[in-house]
Chains A and B, each alone.
Chain A
């Protein structure tokens, strides 16, 4: 068993960016969820971007984790945007009958940042 893959979380302004470059194991996502929660409280970020443009395979557990991450982030008043989902992954999630709940989606990182900026403007802090 290899060690848990820690996905790096980068901070850009008040947005946290987690770019997932490997195929996810269940425990990797659990670790990511913990790390993100800690990082949001530490930095007071208002947005989280999950970049999954390099992810080929997503199962129902991981799909649900995205929704969980979003719900958790909402508790810290941060919005979550999943960006760069591949067609095959999108089709899989639809076939699995998963909806991502509060998660917003965008085609690429740029559009994801635009969505967060818009959400930030709508609810000024």
Chain B
């Protein structure tokens, strides 16, 4: 957005002279909708930084936020937005941090020279801001719903429990394992053990690229839970670098059977259930 103005120095002057008062009021206004979920000290630090960057941008005379003088400000805003999103703030609560300065500035100017017309514009502009935020909020919510839905579908799709043999179940895991997914795997596998009455289960992690301590814990818990239910659980297909990670993290697999390939695990399970695999003698 480009705004042409012949009084750019006035704006810079205004921002510089009113820096202390404006920042203080800005922090006050921005803190209100957050209802204490962010400490005032932190908010003040963030907004002071923003104010400094904004001032240097305005000082350069440029009025296009995509221009070079605003690069630092854009970076800081991106960081702030990301932090807010991670902390679970809504889009409105995030954007209010920027809009609040406008209110602070209007109040500041208004105190100096009160004009009837300006006040009308301010009120209307606030109304429009609120409407804009409302639009954005709804948009973000709709997007999140779509993402949640897809994530759920993916979770369902990517964790099938398959039957390899009578009494032998397998869960081939592919992709990234996080705690939520391992939890789903755990529940699905245990449910399947009950419904099929299978005494052996194999968790194959050939397609898993990384394992952290939490995931390893979940896998261990799954194996222990299966054991409590009376089924034996084998983990197969641990990749070399995952094996190294597991050892480096100091995770103890204890007496849990691990096999290098799914085939080995199946042979182990068959042998345990008393089935012997032999090559047919074709000569006789």
Q: Which residues of A contact B (CB under 8 A)?
A: 82-83, 85-87, 89-91, 93-95, 99-100, 104-108, 111-112
Name the residue of chain A whose CB is nearest to the CB of B183: A91
> How many whole Å from A110's CB to the nearest CB in chain B?
9
Partner-binding segment picked from B97-105, B135-143, B192-200: B192-200
Q: Which residue of A lies closest to B228 (CB)?
A: A90
- Chain B residue nearest to A81 in the complex (CB): B230
Q: Which residues of B contact A87 (CB under 8 A)?
A: 187, 190-191, 193-194, 225, 229
Residues of B near A107 (CB, < 8 A) are: 193-194, 197-199, 229-231
Q: Which residues of B contact A82 (CB under 8 A)?
A: 228, 230
Q: Residue B186 at the A interface, CB < 8 A?
A: yes
What is the predominant secondary structure among interface residues of chain B facing chain A? helix
Per the bound structure, the CA–CA distance linking A106 and B231 in Å amounts to 7
Find out whether the CB atom of B199 lies under 8 angstroms from the CB atom of A95. Answer: no
Residues of B within 8 A of A (CB): 186-187, 190-191, 193-194, 197-199, 221, 224-231
Contact check, B228 vs A100: say whether CB atoms are below 8 A apart.
yes
Closest to A66 in B: B228
Name which residue of chain A comes closest to B193, CB basis.
A107
From DSSP, what is the main secondary structure of chain A's interface residues?
mixed
Among A83, A94, A99, A106, the one with the most B-chain Cβ atoms within 10 Å of its Cβ is: A94
Give every chain A residue within 8 A of B224 (Cβ-Cβ).
Answer: 94, 99
B230 to chain A, nearest CB (A): 4
CA separation between A86 and B194, bound complex, in Å? 8
A-B pair count, CB < 8 Å, reads 54
- Report how far A86 CA is from B231 CA in the complex, Å: 12
Which residues of chain B have C-beta atoms less than 8 A from A86's C-beta? Answer: 194, 229
What B residues does A108 contact at CB under 8 A? 197
Distance in angstroms between the alpha carbons of A100 and B230 in the assembled complex: 12
The answer on a CB contact under 8 Å between A83 and B225 is no
Q: What separation, in Å, do the CA atoms of A104 and B230 have in the docked complex? A: 7
Closest to A63 in B: B228
B185 to chain A, nearest CB (A): 12
* Residue in B191, B193, B221 whose beta carbon sits within 8 Å of that of A95 in the complex: B221
Given the contacts A107-B197, A107-B199, A111-B199, A91 and B190 also touching, CB distance less than 8 Å: yes
**In the bound complex, CA of A105 to CA of B228 (Å):** 6
Q: How far, in whole Å, are A43 and B52 apart by their CA atoms in the complex?
A: 87
Beyond the given A94-B224, A95-B221, could you list 14 further A-B residue pairs with CB under 8 A, ordered by the A residue number?
A82-B228, A86-B194, A86-B229, A87-B193, A90-B190, A90-B226, A90-B228, A91-B187, A93-B225, A106-B230, A107-B194, A107-B197, A107-B231, A111-B199
Please measure, in the bound complex, the distance between the C-alpha atom of A104 and the C-alpha atom of B197, giving whole angstroms: 16
Question: Which residue in A94, A111, A112 is a CB contact (below 8 Å) of B228?
Answer: A94
CB distance from A94 to the nearest CB of B (A): 5
Known contacts A106-B230, A107-B199, A111-B230; is-contact A94 B194 (Cβ 8 Å): no
Is A85 within 8 A of B197, CB to CB?
no
Among candidates B191, B225, B231, residue contacting A94 with C-beta atoms closer than 8 Å: B225
CB-CB < 8 A to B227: which residues of A? 105
